[in-house]
Structure formats: C-alpha cells, structure tokens
Structure 1
Amino acid sequence: MRFPFFKRKISKQLFTIAFYNLENLFDPKNNVRTLDEDFTPDGFKKWTPKKYRKKLSGLAKTIFKIGQSANPYPPVIVGVAEVENQSVLRDLIETEPLEDVDYDFVHYESPDERGIDTGLIYNRKYFKVIMSEAIPLMVCNPDGVRDTTRDILYVCGHLNGEKIHLFVNHWPSRRDGAESTEYKRMAAAEVVKGKIATIERDEPNPKCIVMGDFNDDPSSKSVQTLLQDTGLHNPMESLHIPKSRGSASYKKTWSLFDQILLSHRFYKYEKGSHSFDTANIFDQDFLKEIKGKYKGNPFRTFVGKKYLGGYSDHFPVYIVLKLNK
C-alpha cells in the first residue's frame, strides 16, 4: 500500500528544488491562438491522446524521483519550461504518482509564438505562495520587430515559513546562432537583476533562487552577468563537463543550459532557515538513449517528425536544501 507523500515526515529536514524542461508538453487539442498545429492528431507530429498520456506518465514518474539519491522524497518545488497551458500542468500533477503529492502550480500565458510557457509546481504543505507575476522580456529582432518570447515567472512565498523569491526562466534560444542572439539573453539577465534590485530595496539580503533553461552555459556571458551584483552563486558550474556531462547534448557536446542559482545567504547557517546541501543533474539511466549513436543522450519524445516516445531532450537539475533547526 502506498501512503500519500503529504502524510510523511521529511527525512532529516531535506527539501529538493528542481527545474525541468519538459520538451513541448502540449495537449492534442488545437489552440487557434498559438502555433500548436503540429501537436494535434492530424498535425506534423501526429500527436494523439495516447502519446500525450504516455508522456505525462513518464514525466510524472521522473519528477517524483528527482534527487532521490540525496533525498528520498519528491521535490517540494519544480520549475518547468515548455508547457502549453494550465491544462497540461493540471493533467501532469494529477498523473500517478504525482497525484499522491499535494501539488499545485503557478502559471501565466506568455506571448511566445510557439505557445510554450514556464510554470512552477509546488507542494502546498511546505510552500505557501504570497504573490506571483509574469515579468515580460521586451527584446526585438534585428529588423526591429519584437521577439515574442517567454515571460520570466516570479513567485514569492514561504518555504516552511521562510520567505524566498523564485524566478523561473526560459531565455531566448540560440536557433539563429549563439553570438547573434546573445543580446537577447543578456537582456533577460538584466531583467532578473533589475527585479532582484527592486526586492532588495524593501528587503535587505533576500533569499532568491533563479532557475531555468538559460540557453547558455554557466561560463557564458549572460549567466556570469547575472551573478554580478546580485549576491547569487551558481552551484551547477562545476557539474558541466562539455565532453561528457551536462543537461542536454548537441553534436556530441554537452551543454548545461539548465541551472539553479541561489543567494549566498543559503550558504550560511541560520536557525530556522534553509541552507544549501547539494546540487546535481538528474541523469539516471532510465532517462537516456540506451543504444545507437545517441547512446547516453536524453531520451527525447521526438527527433524531428520521428516519434521516439521518450521523456525530454533535457535532463532535470536540482538542489537540496536543509532546514536548520
């Protein structure tokens, strides 16, 4: 018999916070306001209810297991990217085994032309939302037309009574070239820095967690810019090994676009507060291709039009916090 997570006591007061790019979590319905026609039964991907349910099941089982080598319980907070709408998030948290966790979520529709947004899933027993907002990222393409990209999701709340500020990001892609699009990700970094500065005016030394798919590595200019004058530290930096380890792979080179940054205050012991314990990439074997030239890469749902039936083209990343008694 399986007992619901919300009836268990957290072991050693450890709490996992994760981020996961879900690789195009679309429902099979056609939304006339977004470019989701590919993800319909008659579309390019032949995206059926059966395939959708299989993806939900795989993602739910993955999220439930994130970080279990460090903490045997499911994450209390999960930032997600590439979700179509509130409906898919609701379906996800109501899929076994997540249905046994007291999860809820925060989501706003963004102007992204593909119809993909960010979201925040949280366990209501341990995290209480105070307020949230979608922070627009106003960047233009070289022709002066606005790039309708994802908003930055900001959520303020109490984790076990301690106030924390969360940012969920999915920064503009490198599709048109890393260098030619760098200015967009630099702009995103400045938006987050500006919001943190605003918070600091009312709250000295706030505890912030900035997570997301930054479409840049820890050593990239945009991420390094984000660390400047914000009191943030990147525990993911040492995990990136371009030849052998990261959260996504392209042409046999690993990137670590998926990262979780946190305030330096998480590295101090303060009674009744949370402190940093560990960080890692959740790259278990069941999430990987098991054979062929892509062996070891994330087992994704699609490669172009070809349906593989996997989870995502990204591995999740996570940190573990310890509640100091």
Structure 2
Amino acid sequence: MRIPFFKKKAKKQRYTIAFYNLENLFDPERNKNTLDRDYTPTGIKKWTVERYQRKLAKLSKTITRIGEEKHPYPPVLIGVAEAENNSVLQALVDTDPMEDLDYGFIHFDSPDERGIDTGLIYRKKFFKVLHSEPLALMVNNAGGIRDTTRDILYVKGELNKELVHIFVNHWPSRRDGDVETEYKRVIAAEEIIQNIESIKLQELDPNIIVMGDFNDDPSSKSIQVLKEGASLFNAMETLHIPDSRGTSVYGGKWNMFDQVLISNSFLNYEKNTHSFDTAGIFDHKSLKEKKGKYKGTPYRTFVSHRYMGGYSDHFPVYTVFTFNS
C-alpha cells in the first residue's frame, strides 16, 4: 500500500566527523631537514616501500569504516596527526578504498623536529575549504628554549553549505612527565580560546570543532581550560574508563587523549544546520591485538623498534551529526 505523502518521514542526513592519530606515517625517503632517519629502508626500523604501502592500505580501509556501527557511510571530515608531509597524505587518499570517495586534504609543514604534522582530510562532495592556516604554538622548555612542537591546523569551510571552524591538534607530549609538561598544553588550550574569541567578534554563534590528540584526558587541566574558556561540549568525556576503555594504553591504563569538542551551536535544532547526534571510539576488533599481554589494546605498527605490522597505537574517535533539512 502506498504511504500518503504527508505521512512519509524524511530520511535522516547524517555525517561522521573523525580524528585519527596515524602513528608515524612516514614515507621511506630520507628528509635531511627532519629526524626521520629511523623511517628509511636502512634505518633502525627498516621502513621499506612494502611496509609503507601495507600501512597505507590498512589506514585507508580503517578510515572509511570509522563510526560504521553508528552510521554506515565513510566520514566526511577526518583530522589526523603524525603525518610526515603532503606526500604521505596524497598517497593515503590515493589508496583504495579512499581513492573512490574523492577525498582532498590540507596540510602544512610544522617546526616539529621529527616532521610529524596535523592534517585535515575531507570529502570534496560535502566540504568546501574557504581558508586554512597553521597556528604556531609558542611554548618553551624548562630551560627557556622554544619547544618546536606541532602547529595547530585551522580550517574554515562549509559543511553542506553551513559555515564551520575546525582546529586540528597534536599537543606537546608528556615525554618529560605529565605534570612537568602540563603548562605547555594549557598554553595550547589558551591559544585556541584566543582564536575562537576572534571568530566570535565576526560571527554571532559560530560552529566550532576542536579535535586532536591532546596528550591529556578529558579530566585534565588543559582540556578543562579549553572546554570552559571556549564554552565547548566534550563529546568524548563519558567514553573514557581508565581501567577498561580509551584510545591508547600506557602503563596498563587507558588514556583518552584523542577527543572531539564542539560548540554549543551544534546542540540546538535549526533548519539547514547540523546537530550533534552521537560519539564513539572506533575500536573494532581488527584494530586490536588479538593475544598475549596486550590483547585488546591498539594493534601497533611498531613496539619500540620491533615491527608488528599493525595500524596505529591509537584508536580513532568520531562524532555523528544530523543535518536538519
């Protein structure tokens, strides 16, 4: 029986936005300007063309599946960390199955000594880039010398013709101690807050997405400063269970360093706008160690210098939005 037109329900238009730390996506070529010698065929990790192509194939397949348990279509936006250069991101989007989906990307070389940067991958069909730039993160080490860390990638664009502002992050690491380096990540939070305040001088209620590997958990000081200072909603906050769930593992505990925070404008319903629907960690069984003491943790490409052949030492995270047509 035909359903009367006035009783038909409009099909929901839903879109996935994700973030993924790619774990040292280097090409095998030596770059004299960065510390990438380990990731060459003659380096300690024996990073060959074959290993590189195998990693690209694994990452490409994973990216197109992020969030499939909540929404079956590939993400329209993917923030990434630990990409060496334009070359590796071009190779990634040219690898099946991403190649068929017409992905583009944005990347700038940062001052990071190892040459690992942030980037934004986007489906050209749904997202139009209006402006992009790297935001330098000016932090010093304890001795007063600048920490040449990753820039923050800022992108302004239209998602299904709705204006959005995106910040992709990979904040300073905890290598020298989480407490000792906390101030660096707080400075990163304050840098983003300052940029959002500038946007708010131009727009009444801007749509903001801040994603990245923050090297801090949702409860950490830096994330709380960011959340409160920029009036953001942390879609990842309730997903972190230190004893059993997160995006990476260190010292036997789960961290939730990978997060997506959004402005409150996405929590409202208005025609021709996007509304936040749900969030998740994409920890599919294919991305996990299958046995041994690390069973259930991310299936890594390397453990120290030992080649494991996995995907990444982080699980991706994602948010799903509904477009209110």
Q: CA deviation at 1:270?
A: 0.6
Secondary structure of the residue that 2:64 maps to in structure 1?
A: helix
Distance in 2 separating the partners of 1:55 and 1:146: 33
Number of the residue aligned with 1:285: 285
Number of the residue aligned with 2:274: 274
Number of the residue aligned with 2:84: 84
Number of the residue aligned with 1:112: 112
Q: CA deviation at 1:12?
A: 2.5
Number of the residue aligned with 2:8: none
Task: Percent identity, please.
Answer: 62
Secondary structure of the residue that 2:318 maps to in structure 1?
A: strand
Distance in 2 separating the partners of 1:229 and 1:139: 19
Distance in 2 separating the partners of 1:166 and 1:312: 23
Q: Structure 2: which amino acid aligns with 1:282?
A: F
Secondary structure of the residue that 1:27 maps to in structure 2?
A: coil
Q: What does residue range 237-248 of structure 1 map to in structure 2 within 5 Å? A: 237-248=237-248
Distance in 2 separating the partners of 1:80 and 1:281: 15
Number of the residue aligned with 1:6: none
Distance in 2 separating the partners of 1:206 and 1:230: 11
Unmatched runs of 5 consecutive residues or more in structure 2: 1-10
Distance in 2 separating the partners of 1:169 and 1:247: 16
**Are residue 257 (structure 1) and residue 247 (structure 2) matched?**
no
Unmatched runs of 5 consecutive residues or more in structure 1: 1-10
**Are residue 193 (structure 1) and residue 188 (structure 2) matched?**
no
Number of the residue aligned with 1:103: 103
Distance in 2 separating the partners of 1:307 and 1:115: 21
Q: CA deviation at 1:69?
A: 1.0
Secondary structure of the residue that 1:209 maps to in structure 2?
A: strand
Q: CA deviation at 1:229?
A: 3.2
Distance in 1 separating the partners of 2:154 and 2:129: 11
**Are residue 41 (structure 1) and residue 41 (structure 2) matched?**
yes
Number of the residue aligned with 2:229: 229
Q: What does residue range 18-29 of structure 1 map to in structure 2 within 5 Å? A: 18-29=18-29
Misfit runs of 4+, over 6 Å: none
Number of the residue aligned with 2:3: none
**Are residue 74 (structure 1) and residue 65 (structure 2) matched?**
no
Q: CA deviation at 1:231?
A: 2.2
Residue by residue over 1:176-200, the C-alpha shift from the partner in whole angstroms, topping out at 9 and shown as x without a partner, is 0000000000000000000000000
Distance in 2 separating the partners of 1:96 and 1:81: 20
Secondary structure of the residue that 2:178 maps to in structure 1?
A: coil
Number of the residue aligned with 1:175: 175
Number of the residue aligned with 1:166: 166
Number of the residue aligned with 2:156: 156
Number of the residue aligned with 1:5: none
Residue by residue over 1:24-78, the C-alpha shift from the partner in whole angstroms, topping out at 9 and shown as x without a partner, is 0000000001000000000011000000000000000000100011111100000
State TM-score, norm by structure 2. Answer: 0.96
Number of the residue aligned with 1:59: 59
Q: What does residue range 288-303 of structure 1 map to in structure 2 within 5 Å? A: 288-303=288-303
State TM-score, norm by structure 1. Answer: 0.96
Number of the residue aligned with 1:136: 136
How well do the aligned residues superpose, as a CA RMSD in angstroms? 0.6
Distance in 1 separating the partners of 2:76 and 2:210: 16
Number of the residue aligned with 1:319: 319
Distance in 2 separating the partners of 1:203 and 1:283: 37
Secondary structure of the residue that 2:179 maps to in structure 1?
A: coil
Q: Structure 2: which amino acid aligns with 1:280?
A: G
Secondary structure of the residue that 1:181 maps to in structure 2?
A: helix
Distance in 2 separating the partners of 1:235 and 1:67: 14
